[in-house]
Amino acid sequence: MSRTSIPSPILEVCCGDLESVVAAKAGGAQRIELCSALSEGGLTPSAGLIAEALRQGIAKVHVLIRPRNGDFLYTESEVAVMEHDIRAAVAAGADGVVIGALTEDGEIDIPTCRRLVEAAGSASVTFHRAFDLCRNPEKALEEIIALGCDRILTSGLAQSALAGAERLASLNRLAAGRIILLAGGGVNPENAREIMNLTGLNELHASAKTTTGSRMKFRREAVNMGEAGKDEYSRQVTDASTVAEIIRAMNTIQ
């Protein structure tokens, strides 16, 4: 294969608010995964956030479909919520959705996932990191391919994509071009190229986030809106320069 025929690397940036979407675009991200509540691992974003994110004109917007935090074992009512959210996201103009569900035994919940894929219609479908909590990843890979998903977001069942690089490479060989593996988990400018070299993967997923302070002048420090002791006057957002640095690293031949 000639060098010119090798696809350009793709960075997907996980964005939990509109400010992060703007930063991801400014940094050059080719795709975003839009969600809310990143501190909970990501939840389904609001209809308003989806609409405003799409207005920013970023190349691809994939919407996370996850109705609550915790595990990926869902009730019938929760599945109905996810189907509704998928149809709404696609109708709003999202290019894809990010889904996943497991059985109580850690297997891919094929009937549920089939319903979610069908709800997406012609939109792109990514199976999210529920994959990293499954019992048998090789079996799960084949099942997700059979469901018609376009990619799997995974750290290789490890705490980070770098730590899971060996398994990511093995899964990529097993996939044999039938599905895209998207490496996520701890991706940063320092390790992005190494992850690609070790795994053979061409797509990475990162939040590229930094902590930003509130513009509030008056502050009532003794009151928490959620978890006790949490700083209500700081939050994490995507940093455009970090996005750009990851992309430069991905495009550096080593």
**What tens digit of pLDDT does each residue of 98-120 get?**
999 999 999 999 999 999 999 99
Residue 137: which of 150, 124, 127 has the closest Cα? 127
Give CA separation, 10 vs 82, 181, 201, in Å.
27, 12, 10
Grouping H, G, I as helix, E, B as strand and the rest as coil, residue 184 is strand
Structure tokens, 212: 């930003």
Tell me the domain boundaries of the chain.
7-215+229-250
**Would you state the pLDDT for residue 65?**
98
Q: Position of tokens 């996370």?
A: 64
Which residue ranges in the chain fall short of pLDDT 50?
1-5
Q: Model pTM? A: 0.92
Query: What dotted CATH number matches 7-215+229-250?
Result: 3.20.20.380
Helices of type H across the chain:
18-27, 47-55, 76-92, 110-120, 137-147, 165-175, 192-199, 240-250
**Would you state the pLDDT for residue 254?**
63
**CA torsion sign, 58 to 205 to 173 to 178?**
negative
**Residue 36: Cβ-neighbour burial (10 angstroms; 0-12, 13-18, 19+):** middle
